[in-house]
Amino acid sequence: MAETKKRGRPRSAKAEAAILKAARELLDEAGPARLTIEAVATRARVGKPTIYRYWANARELAMAALMARMPERAGMKTSQSAIADLRTHVRGLIARFATTRGRQSALMLATAERDSEMFKAFRNQVVMTGREEGRAILLRAIAAGEVNVDMPLETLLDLVYGPIFFRLLTVHAPLTQDFADEIVATLVEGVSTRA
């Protein structure tokens, strides 16, 4: 209830929107490394101090712009097989990240200061949003008895998402839809010949 009385001129939503728009455009045109505060300020017809009032530096602004940019997650349709749902989910994930925007997001993640608030927000919103959906699917699969996981669910989720980001970063092999299927198949079946 300790609400702070807002005094003085309120922040301009217009300015913030113009900044984010300019940032997004520059990301598209030149990538995150070229996103400078000066360029954003000029393009958004905004003063530099205004930008610094909202974000601490160019990287945080870039993250904010990328977050605002991530496509809305379409509500997932549920089929009878949770594993089929997982496959669809991973395919969607790859489709999302195998874009300039997706690559830039992964890159931001790697570059950002590990312990800033922005980093956590970015990680949660960009990387982990999909994760919640993935977690739901896996829980459904466990409930349905399709799957048996005797370890932290986090580990399994990392086994799903890790390979995608790995290819994104190392570019040693293409990030295709087939890769989604291969990931899911391996995780489900395992490679053991014991069975």
- Applying CB under 7 A, the residues found at the interface with DNA are 5-12, 15-16, 18, 34, 36-39, 41, 44-50, 52-53, 57-58
Cα angle for residues 84, 80, 141 (degrees, 5° grid)? 65
Q: Return d(Cα 180, Cα 172) in angstroms, integer.
A: 16
Q: Compute the radius of gyration of the chain from its Cα atoms.
A: 20
Q: Which amino acid is at 39?
A: A
Give the one residue of 22, 67, 106, 118 binding a second copy; rule: CB under 8 A: 106
Smallest distance, DNA to C-beta of residue 6, A: 6
Please name which of 155, 182, 156 lies closest in space to residue 167, comparing C-alpha atoms: 182
53 interacts with, out of DNA, a second copy, none, CB within 5 to 8 A per kind:
DNA
Q: Does 139 bind a second copy (CB under 8 A)?
A: no
Q: Which CB atom, from 57 or from 186, has the smaller least distance to DNA?
A: 57
Q: Return d(Cα 146, Cα 133) in angstroms, integer.
A: 17
Residues that bind a second copy (CB under 8 A): 106-107, 109-111, 114, 123, 127-128, 145-149, 151-152, 154-156, 158-159, 161-167, 169-173, 179, 182-183, 185-193, 195
